[in-house]
Amino acid sequence: MTATINHYASYVPSEEIVAREIEGELIIVPLVSGIGDMEDELFTLNETGRAIWDRLDGQRRLKDVVDELVQEFDADEGEIEEDVIGLLEELLKRKMVVEVK
């Protein structure tokens, strides 16, 4: 099932995760299953993923996130937008971020 993405909505990390930067890498432990599972359910973001994650602060709209990244990174806008939406779909599917209502 694909999550519905709203370009004018803001998103924020869910309460049902623990995220910590460890040795320069962002580690995300989902808690939605009722257990923090370092053996099976532990995720990391690469540098680009981290740049997107850091902007999911509940303030910026998705459109603003894309605009900022276009300014900051030397990449095609369409490609950046696709990256942002692709990552957000994964994060929403796993309940790691939620839309701010």
- Give me the residues that bind other proteins (CB under 8 A), please: 18, 20, 22-23, 25, 27, 29, 31, 34-46, 48-49, 52, 82-83, 86-87, 89-91
CB of 50 to other proteins, least distance (A): 9
Nearest to 43 by CA among 34, 30, 56, 57: 30
CB atoms within 10 A of CB 97: 20
CB atoms within 10 A of CB 16: 15
Q: Identify the H or E element spanning 83.
A: helix 77-93
CB of 45 to other proteins, least distance (A): 6
Which residue lies nearer to other proteins by CB, 16 or 64? Answer: 16
CB of 90 to other proteins, least distance (A): 5
